């Protein structure tokens, strides 16, 4: 290549580079990272007794990292100080054969808690009316599956989003339905009878 040709080639090459850098990127070449999500904020509820108060005289106490009750003169509750509207709650529970317990949500009267004025995810395998057994919400939503829970650690994963209620018991969906009786209120762990244990209770607001 002689000097004259080189003088012509260099400006052409530079112009080509400038034009290519200004050209729009074709849509198929644009990549968007959709995997990044906001970290979910969970609140651990059973790291201590802070944030809870008792209704009734159940002997709630710690055994290692387990919150245990096995004696009371009547039905008792451990109630959150805070109220919750839309949320997801996860926990583990252990109930000795014949025990009666439950997780009450959107409680309307924290001093007089019943399964008609709150949603109760029941823990009571041998409940006479099996439409409200473990995995169900008595008076409102019966369980679609029967899951036995006696004398073992079990998991509840419950989501309440508006009137949509989903309950997973040991990973099995027992409820996926709607009900609009209650929209907000505290949560409680119930002691009804027998020996009941809870651990790793956590919640996140939706």
Can you say whether residue 110 is alpha, beta or left, with left for phi > 0 and alpha for psi between -120 and 50 degrees?
alpha
Other CB atoms within 10 A of residue 8 CB? 9
pLDDT (0 to 100) of residue 171: 98
Reported as a single tens digit per residue, the pLDDT across 149-188 is 999 999 999 999 999 999 999 999 999 999 999 999 999 9
pLDDT (0 to 100) of residue 47: 86
- Where does the pLDDT of residue 37 fall: very low under 50, low under 70, confident under 90, or very high at 90 and above? very low
pTM: 0.81
Reported as a single tens digit per residue, the pLDDT across 79-130 is 999 999 999 999 999 999 999 999 999 999 999 999 999 999 999 999 999 9
Q: Which domains does the chain have, with CATH numbers?
A: 43-205 (2.60.120.560)
> 13: which DSSP letter?
H
Which letter, b or e, does each residue of 69-84 get, where b requires 16 or more Cβ atoms within 10 Å of its Cβ?
A: bbeeeebbbbbbeeeb
- Where does the pLDDT of residue 58 fall: very low under 50, low under 70, confident under 90, or very high at 90 and above? very high
The DSSP string of 174-191 is EEEEE--S---B--EEEE
* For range 130-143, the mean pLDDT: 98
């Amino acid at each position: 290549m002689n000097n004259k040709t080189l003088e012509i080639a260099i400006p052409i090459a530079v112009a080509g580079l400038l034009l290519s850098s200004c050209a729009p990127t074709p849509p198929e070449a644009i990549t968007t990272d959709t995997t990044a999500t906001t970290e979910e904020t969970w609140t651990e509820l059973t790291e201590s007794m802070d944030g809870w108060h008792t209704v009734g005289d159940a002997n709630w106490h710690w055994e290692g990292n387990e919150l245990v009750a096995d004696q009371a003169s009547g039905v008792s509750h451990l109630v959150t100080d805070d109220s919750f509207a839309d949320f997801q709650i996860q926990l583990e529970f252990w109930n000795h054969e014949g025990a009666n317990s439950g997780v009450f949500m959107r409680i309307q009267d924290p001093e007089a808690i019943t399964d008609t004025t709150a949603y109760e995810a029941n823990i009571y395998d041998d409940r006479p009316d099996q439409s409200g057994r473990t995995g169900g919400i008595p008076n409102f939503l019966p369980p679609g599956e029967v899951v036995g829970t006696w004398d073992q650690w079990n998991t509840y994963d419950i989501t309440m989003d508006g009137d949509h209620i989903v309950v997973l018991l040991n990973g099995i969906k027992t409820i996926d339905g709607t009900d609009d009786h209650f929209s907000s209120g505290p949560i409680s762990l119930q002691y009804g009878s027998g020996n009941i244990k809870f651990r790793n209770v956590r919640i996140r607001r939706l």
